[in-house]
A and B are shown apart, each in its own frame.
Chain A
Amino acid sequence: MSNNTNQAASDLQRNELPAKKPKKSKTLQQSDKKLPFLLLTPTFILLAAVTIFPILYALYVSVMNFDTFGNSSGFAGLKNYMDIFASSTFWNAIFITLLYTALAVSIEIFLGFNLALMVSKDGKAMTYLRWLLIIPMMLSPLVVAVVYLLMMNTDMGILNYMLQSIGLPKINFLGEPTTAFLSLIFVDVWQWMPMCFLIILAGLQALPRDPFEAAEIDGASKFQVVRFVTLPMLKPIIVVALVIRTMDALRTFDQVFVLTQGGPGRATETISFLMYRASMKNSDFGFASAGLFIVLIITIIISTMLIRFMNRSQSA
């Protein structure tokens, strides 16, 4: 009975309302609930296939024993993890990677910021410089490393030739622990300082003019303007550059592979290179997979910290 009246009422309503619009918008809403998930499904399947699935597989491998041919030979338990924790090479690689990242990224941001300040008011210099500075970061890090391998060669490299022609002694760029490490950072700065520059320049151009004019009227010096007006306003952008560069620098591999192979000794062995050596050269897949989990955990910690930092700087 009540059903009937409802039906009648809704019929009445449908007849009275001018368009079929209410009905239509209802189906639209319904499809709206399923459609986005339908559209996202292929993406999530693929992402799971290249991330979650391999990570789970690594978990399996990390608790197995592997012989020198890369075949598994029984359950190992936590042995591989114990090996990792006791391994000084592993912690050395973590240390090298963190030091490399900290040094390279801070130099890149410092130089990029100063360069951006220098050209931001000069339209012509800005356009040309932007056009040129795009080049390094678009190149394959591998190709860049190859060119520097040639230029840093002790005997025939152009860098030593230039040093000698102005009367300085030769530098063994890639042959000694400290210089090899610094050379890698130099190459990293060459390639990625431009990116920091471009990001910061984009931020500078988007800043409002008023605070600068106010500071000028108040008689602030150039340094004071940068320190108390530009920097605070630019902080969110600088943090974006910092986050992106840090994530990239933590995975440095190509340059190490070409320029130093982790050497001399283990002075430039980044975590990515150590994992490569353990797996592909020594076929110690169990050890490498256990190491991956520690790398994964460290990456998660660092990226969570960075993202918190980024969100805070953006909301402030």
Chain B
Amino acid sequence: MDASVKSFKRKELGMKIFRACFLTVTVLFVLFPLYWMFITSLKGERELFSDVQTFFPKEITWQYYFDPVNGIFGANSPFLSFFINSMIVSFVSMVLCLVIGSYAAYALARFKMKNNRNEKLSFLILTARMLPPIVVVIPMYLIMQNIGLLNTLWSMLIVYIGFNLPFVIWMLKAFFEEIPVELEESAMVDGSSRMRAYHSIILPLVIPGFVATSIFTVILTWNEFLFAMFLLNSTDKMTLPAGISTFITQYQTNWGALCAAATVSVIPVLFFSLLVQKHLVKGMTLGAVKG
């Protein structure tokens, strides 16, 4: 009896140690590339190419960030314009997407249409998201060329609004569906119109949902590379991912500057993603799984 309890306890302890090791390895595995990116941006040229790799830089240098000639914030570097372009495109497309998408989401979440048409329409919208972007981007390139919008932020706005709409609609729909219908009904019985009930009663209640959705939309746009790479070809118009990709050259990649640029581009995303942790699973699964 005593021995069996002891062996049971030992087994438990072994299990605990195994789990602790496994989790530690997982955490290191996940964080190491980010750490390495940051560390590389702080290393001097000699240390970077030396035979002995250092896991912590012997000499920290911020030259890749702030040097007036070589740094990414220096006068010669296009990095700041990548950053500003990304900000403009992400925020403007997010706002427009949310305005257009919120009405569509409300219509799909609340109105009873004939023959289950709500679900069919929602599904139709979802198919737009399943479309591989490459299928659209090649004709889009030709169309933008023909109408003279190639290499402008306008083309980016059109594409991102259209492509993020399905996501926005499905997310907001899930948030609308969480709010009891009785709230609007009582407002409508009291004589307010449907749209007034929406604006004055429902909208304030889904503000947390709007915030989460808008953050996701900004992150999606911020990270998007394929469309930006096809539709933008001059350095002053590029968004961050497209711009950063031009830092990679076959023979002389400036790793310090590349890592500095990558680090700065990642900071807003890290900050924003912590804000939406709670809604993450919902966001990833378009509201199919409540997290």
Q: In this assembly, does A218 line the interface, its C-beta being within 8 Å of a C-beta of chain B?
A: no
Q: In this assembly, does A237 line the interface, its C-beta being within 8 Å of a C-beta of chain B?
A: yes
Q: How far is the CB of A234 from chain B (nearest CB, A)?
A: 11
- A contacts with B, residue count (CB < 8 A): 86
Q: Chain B 188-201 against A: per-residue CB contact (8 Å), 1 yes, 0 no?
A: 10010111000000
Q: Chain A 126-166 against B: per-residue CB contact (8 Å), 1 yes, 0 no?
A: 00011111111111111110111111000010100100000
Which residue of B26, B159, B195, B273 has the most chain A CB atoms within 10 A of its CB atom? B26
Q: In this assembly, does A172 line the interface, its C-beta being within 8 Å of a C-beta of chain B?
A: no
- When the two chains form their complex, are residues B139 and A289 in contact, meaning their CB atoms are under 8 A apart? yes
Find chain B residues with CB under 8 A from A250 CB: 132
Q: In this assembly, does B89 line the interface, its C-beta being within 8 Å of a C-beta of chain A?
A: no
- When the two chains form their complex, are residues B289 and A146 in contact, meaning their CB atoms are under 8 A apart? no
Q: How far is the CB of B135 from chain A (nearest CB, A)?
A: 5
Which 8 A-B pairs give the minimum distances between C-beta atoms?
A50-B162, A140-B223, A36-B107, A54-B139, A39-B107, A138-B273, A58-B139, A36-B111
- 20 chain-A/chain-B pairs, Cβ below 8 angstroms: A36-B111, A40-B108, A47-B125, A55-B139, A134-B277, A142-B245, A146-B248, A147-B34, A150-B36, A150-B259, A199-B284, A202-B291, A206-B290, A240-B289, A254-B226, A258-B248, A271-B134, A285-B138, A296-B135, A303-B130
Find chain B residues with CB under 8 A from A161 CB: 53
Q: How far is the CB of B273 from chain A (nearest CB, A)?
A: 4
Q: In whole angstroms, what is the CA distance A198 to B141 when docked? A: 36
Given A199-B289, A296-B135, do A142 and B26 touch, yes or no (CB 8 Å)? no
Q: In this assembly, does A253 line the interface, its C-beta being within 8 Å of a C-beta of chain B?
A: yes
- When the two chains form their complex, are residues A40 and B107 in contact, meaning their CB atoms are under 8 A apart? yes
- When the two chains form their complex, are residues A142 and B142 in contact, meaning their CB atoms are under 8 A apart? no
| Inter-chain CB contacts under 8 Å: number | 246
Q: In this assembly, does B49 line the interface, its C-beta being within 8 Å of a C-beta of chain A?
A: yes
Q: In this assembly, does A288 line the interface, its C-beta being within 8 Å of a C-beta of chain B?
A: yes
Q: In whole angstroms, what is the CA distance A279 to B285 when docked? A: 32
Q: In whole angstroms, what is the CA distance A281 to B235 when docked? A: 19
Q: Chain A 96-131 against B: per-residue CB contact (8 Å), 1 yes, 0 no?
A: 000000000000000000010011001001000111
Q: Chain B 206-232 against A: per-residue CB contact (8 Å), 1 yes, 0 no?
A: 000000000000010011111001100
Q: In whole angstroms, what is the CA distance A61 to B135 when docked? A: 13
Q: Chain A 269-313 against B: per-residue CB contact (8 Å), 1 yes, 0 no?
A: 001100110011000010011001001100100010000000000
- When the two chains form their complex, are residues B143 and A54 in contact, meaning their CB atoms are under 8 A apart? yes
Q: In this assembly, does B5 line the interface, its C-beta being within 8 Å of a C-beta of chain A?
A: no
Q: How far is the CB of B11 from chain A (nearest CB, A)?
A: 11
- When the two chains form their complex, are residues B100 and A43 in contact, meaning their CB atoms are under 8 A apart? yes
Find chain A residues with CB under 8 A from B289 CB: 199, 202-203, 237, 240
- B contacts with A, residue count (CB < 8 A): 91
Q: In this assembly, does B1 line the interface, its C-beta being within 8 Å of a C-beta of chain A?
A: no
Q: In whole angstroms, what is the CA distance A242 to B242 when docked? A: 29
Q: In this assembly, does B136 line the interface, its C-beta being within 8 Å of a C-beta of chain A?
A: yes
Find chain A residues with CB under 8 A from B37 CB: 143, 146-147, 150
- When the two chains form their complex, are residues B281 and A198 in contact, meaning their CB atoms are under 8 A apart? yes
Which partner residue on chain B sits nearest A303 by CB separation? B130
Q: In this assembly, does B48 line the interface, its C-beta being within 8 Å of a C-beta of chain A?
A: yes
Chain B binding surface, main DSSP class: helix
Q: In this assembly, does B22 line the interface, its C-beta being within 8 Å of a C-beta of chain A?
A: yes
Give the residues from 75 to 110 in chain B that come closer than 8 angstroms, CB to CB, to chain A: 100-101, 103-104, 106-108
- When the two chains form their complex, are residues B259 and A202 in contact, meaning their CB atoms are under 8 A apart? no
Q: In this assembly, does A212 line the interface, its C-beta being within 8 Å of a C-beta of chain B?
A: no
- When the two chains form their complex, are residues A198 and B284 in contact, meaning their CB atoms are under 8 A apart? yes
- When the two chains form their complex, are residues B135 and A55 in contact, meaning their CB atoms are under 8 A apart? yes
Q: Chain B 121-140 against A: per-residue CB contact (8 Å), 1 yes, 0 no?
A: 10001011011111110111
- When the two chains form their complex, are residues B285 and A244 in contact, meaning their CB atoms are under 8 A apart? yes
Given A36-B113, A202-B291, A285-B142, do A190 and B29 touch, yes or no (CB 8 Å)? yes
- When the two chains form their complex, are residues A150 and B255 in contact, meaning their CB atoms are under 8 A apart? yes
Q: In whole angstroms, what is the CA distance A39 to B100 when docked? A: 8
Q: Chain B 17-57 against A: per-residue CB contact (8 Å), 1 yes, 0 no?
A: 00100110011011101101100100000001100010000
Q: In this assembly, does A51 line the interface, its C-beta being within 8 Å of a C-beta of chain B?
A: yes
- When the two chains form their complex, are residues B136 and A202 in contact, meaning their CB atoms are under 8 A apart? no
Q: In this assembly, does A262 line the interface, its C-beta being within 8 Å of a C-beta of chain B?
A: no
Given A132-B31, A147-B34, A158-B53, do A47 and B165 touch, yes or no (CB 8 Å)? yes
